[in-house]
Each structure stands twice: as C-alpha cells, then as structure tokens.
C-alpha cells in the first residue's frame, strides 16, 4: 500500500504517468514530467518537494474543492473595496474551474446590469443591459445554479454582449446571488474547454454565497464609511468657518494628503484613514477661545502657546470617537511636528513622527500659505513651494513628500 499524505490547500491536482489525481485548474505548473494544477499563492519550493515525494511513490492527496473555496475566501477577507474584491473573486473562480471569463450582474427592475467583469470582454460590455430573457435571466428566475454547454442551439442566449465584445461565448455556468433573503443578481462563468460539469456548478454556487456575504458586509461598510466621512466633514467645515478661514481648508488638506498617500503606494485601507485624519486635523481648534483664534493682528507669545494646544485638544477629542484609531489620531496630534524637532506639541523628530503627521503637516503648510487669510493675501504656488523647499533643506520636511506635493499641485492646478 502506498503511503498517502495531504497536499497544501492550493494544490488542486496533478498528472503523473498520464493519470490525473484531483482536478485541473487554469494555472498549470510543470516540474519534470509532472503537471501540477494549482491556485494563486502556491509555493514553488513546496511543489518541488511534492514532486520528489511523488517520484518516491508517495501519494499526495490534492485539496478538496470546499477547502479551496474557504482558502480563497480567507485570502480575500481583508479587501474592502467592492470592485477590487469582486474582480479578485472572479479571477479565482476562473482559475479553480479552468474557465476564461466571469461576470457579476445585478438585477434592476426589468433587466440585469453588469457590475464587474473579468476576462477578454472586460471593459467592453459593462454598459449593455442584459434582458431577463437570457441565460443570466434564466439563472436569476430559476433561483439555482445552472449549466448551459451548447449555446449555439440555445435560443435564450443573448448575443448582444458577444457582438459588442467581439467575443464568442461557448458555454456558461451560473448561480444566483443572494444578500440575506433577497435575490440581487447572478454570477456567470464562461468558456471552459470541454464544457462545464456538475462539480463546476457546485463551486460557482459556493462562490455565489460568498459573494452575497461579501456584498452585504462591504455595502454596510461603505455606507458607514460615507456617512462617517460626511459627519467628519461637517464638523471640520464648521471649525474652518469659525477660524475665518476658507471653508475648503480641511477638504483641500484631505485631497492633497490622499494623493500623496497614493504616490507612496499605501493600502486602500490606510488611504481612507489618512483621508479621515486629514479632514479632522484641526478639530482641536474648537477648544481655542475666539479672542485668540480670530485675532486679526500678531499673537503674543502666550497666545501662540494657547494656539499650539489645538493639536493636543484635537487628539483628546478624537480619542473619544469609537471608530478613530491611533493612526487617524496621529494626524491631528502631529501635523505641526517637524523632522528637526522644532515643531509642536512635543518636539518630536524624524522617526518619531507618524507618516500621517508628516504628510498632513507639509500639505497643511501649503494650503495655509496659498490661501488668503485675515492678515495676509494668498501667495502664489511658486512662492509657497520656494518657502517649503527652504524648510526641506533645513531638515523640517521630507524631500520625497515635497516632490510629490509639487507634482500633485501642478497636475491639479496646471
């Protein structure tokens, strides 16, 4: 009897001595005379070890489909942006069932509308409404996973999509998508060589359930995120107006900060936190008396010390908000800190200042100097860039952030 061991979750199957163990996927890795069928995230090093085991006569059991679906769902769990999430899911489905393309369609009164597509037709068909008298419509109305392997002879097949995409659909497997108890759309997977099987239908149906749960959680998150942002912006705008400052200051700082974050390549989740942090960076001014905050002339040393406290007040206020974490809070607390230790409130230096504090800090200075205030006219961007460049040379600001700021402002303002 051959010794058997369990393979890693990403191992779908392999062909050895012309015999298939497990199942084929779209992703093929060939090592020696063995063809391995895997999912994304596989390890070449581990595949080489499995190759040696198989050559020694040890049987390696490929992972079962349900475990692979759970594996894929776990990998995608941290992705919050809906379109990216759904494209990732569809790409994984195409890999696991060895298909060429996939689409998610959402029901809208009397037709289905493409939400996300992957494959050769992607980008060409999203604006085309799909009638209910179609394969997708049939799947939706039947409320179950269905296979259509001979579309040439199927009168229900809607050919408008193929015509627009210059793409021939040979076969389809699809399943309805439910959000809680409401049927909201369909997922279709297209073009598998040799046609789809019942096992493929079960896989797509499993993914349809995952998509339904992901849609619910992501829609809830994005609805919360949008409402939360509106609330924060309303607070920030009220503070900006109280300061006799342009009411767009917080929005400007937020916009430029997020663009710098994108240039730095930070994650979507961090970009959203950076946006919140920048919107709220001056929230502490609510604790500064009008006699000081609105004073048209030069502040005394004592008054300036009080103004400085707005960073500490801001952090204290934000720490009481349930959804504000340390990263969001750091922007309010540290946007007046400087790399050489000359800033406030704590005189932090270089590595002690958070990324949010450094980004919002340099953007805050740009917007303050380029905007008309009660005690000065707006300065040109060239003059502001020169002043900030001098501070970069003095070691106050990060050169990389300065270069990105110049690039972004020039792109946006011309």
What structural domains and CATH numbers belong to the chain?
A: 4-63 (no CATH), 68-218 (3.30.450.40), 243-413 (1.10.3210.10)
SS3 call for 56: coil
Dig out the tokens for 400 from the structure. 């990389």
Angle 355-369/399-413 helices, nearest 10 degrees?
A: 50
CB of 332 within 8 A of CB of 274? no
* Whole-angstrom distance, CA of residue 212 vs CA of residue 67: 19
Half-sphere exposure of 14 (CA within 13 A, CB side): 26
- Give Cα separations from 209 to 61, 70, 174, 192, 206 (angstroms): 27, 12, 12, 22, 5
Catalytically annotated residue among 24, 273, 285, 348? 285
For tokens 């849609």, what's the residue? 215
Least confident of 34-48, 278-292, 325-339: 278-292
Dig out the tokens for 174 from the structure. 């699809």
Question: How would you list the strands of the sheet with 27-31, edge to edge?
Answer: 19-22, 11-16, 34-38, 27-31
CB of 135 within 8 A of CB of 170? no
Q: Where does residue 18 fall: left (phi above 0), alpha (psi -120 to 50 degrees), or beta otherwise?
A: left
For tokens 């391995």, what's the residue? 36
Question: Which has more pLDDT, 237 or 13?
Answer: 13
**Span 323-359, pLDDT tens digits:** 788 999 999 999 999 999 999 999 999 889 999 999 9
The pLDDT confidence band at residue 174, using thresholds 50, 70 and 90, is very high
pLDDT at 79: 47
SS3 call for 27: strand
* Whole-angstrom distance, CA of residue 151 vs CA of residue 380: 64
Contacts of 394 (CB under 8 A, 6+ apart): 340
Q: Whole-model pTM? A: 0.52
Active-site residue flag, 285? yes
The neighbouring-strand residues paired with 31 are 34
Q: How far is CA 354 from the centre of its chain?
A: 22
Question: Where does 243-267 have alpha helices with state H?
Answer: 249-264
| 115 burial type by CB count under 10 A (0-12 exposed, 13-18 middle, 19+ buried) | buried
Of 285, 286, 262, nearest in space to 272 by CA: 262
**Span 91-130, pLDDT tens digits:** 888 888 889 888 889 898 889 988 888 887 667 777 888 9
CB of 277 within 8 A of CB of 283? no
Q: Is the per-residue pLDDT at 72 higher than 90?
A: no
**Span 296-306, pLDDT tens digits:** 778 899 999 99
Listed as own residue / partner, the contacts of 221-225 with beta carbons closer than 8 Å and 24 or more positions apart are 221/80, 222/80, 222/82, 225/272
For tokens 């759904």, what's the residue? 86
CB of 106 within 8 A of CB of 113? yes
Q: Is the per-residue pLDDT at 399 higher than 80?
A: yes
pLDDT at 306: 92
CB of 355 within 8 A of CB of 414? no
For tokens 């040890």, what's the residue? 58
pLDDT at 168: 85
Half-sphere exposure of 161 (CA within 13 A, CB side): 28
């Amino acid at each position: 009897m051959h010794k058997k061991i369990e393979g890693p979750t990403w191992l779908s199957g392999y062909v050895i001595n012309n015999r298939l163990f497990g199942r084929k996927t779209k992703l093929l890795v060939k090592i020696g005379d063995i063809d391995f069928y895997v999912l994304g995230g596989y390890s070449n090093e581990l595949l080489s070890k499995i190759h040696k085991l198989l050559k020694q006569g040890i049987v390696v059991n490929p992972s079962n489909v349900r475990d692979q679906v759970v594996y894929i769902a776990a990998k995608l769990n941290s992705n919050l942006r809906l379109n990216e999430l759904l494209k990732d899911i569809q790409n994984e489905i195409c890999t696991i069932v060895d298909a060429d393309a996939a689409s998610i369609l959402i029901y809208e009164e009397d037709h289905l509308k493409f939400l996300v597509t992957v494959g050769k037709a992607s980008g060409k068909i999203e604006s085309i409404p799909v009638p209910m008298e179609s394969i997708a419509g049939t799947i939706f109305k039947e409320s179950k996973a269905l296979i259509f392997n001979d579309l040439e002879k199927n009168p229900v097949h809607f050919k408008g999509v193929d015509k627009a995409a210059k793409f021939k659909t040979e076969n389809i497997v699809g399943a309805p998508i439910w959000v809680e108890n409401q049927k909201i759309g369909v997922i279709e997977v297209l073009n598998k060589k040799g046609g789809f099987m019942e096992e493929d239908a079960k896989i797509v149906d499993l993914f349809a359930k995952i998509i339904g749960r992901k849609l619910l959680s992501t829609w809830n998150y994005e609805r919360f995120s949008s409402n939360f942002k509106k609330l924060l912006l309303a607070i920030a705008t009220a503070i900006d107006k109280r300061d006799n400052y342009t009411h767009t200051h917080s929005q400007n700082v937020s916009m430029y900060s997020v663009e710098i974050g994108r240039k730095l390549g930070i994650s979507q989740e961090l970009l959203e936190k950076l946006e919140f942090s920048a919107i709220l960076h001056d929230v502490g001014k609510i604790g500064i008396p009008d006699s000081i905050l609105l004073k048209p002339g030069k502040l005394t040393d004592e008054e300036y010390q009080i103004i400085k406290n707005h960073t500490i007040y801001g952090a204290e206020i934000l720490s009481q908000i349930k959804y504000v974490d340390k990263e969001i809070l750091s922007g309010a607390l540290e946007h007046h800190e400087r790399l050489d230790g000359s800033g406030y409130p704590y005189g932090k230096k270089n590595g002690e200042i958070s990324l949010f504090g450094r980004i919002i800090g340099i953007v805050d200075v740009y917007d303050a100097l380029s905007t008309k205030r009660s005690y000065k006219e707006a300065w040109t961007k060239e003059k502001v860039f020169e002043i900030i460049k001098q501070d970069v040379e003095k070691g106050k600001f990060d050169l990389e952030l300065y270069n990105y700021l110049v690039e972004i402002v020039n792109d946006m303002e011309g």
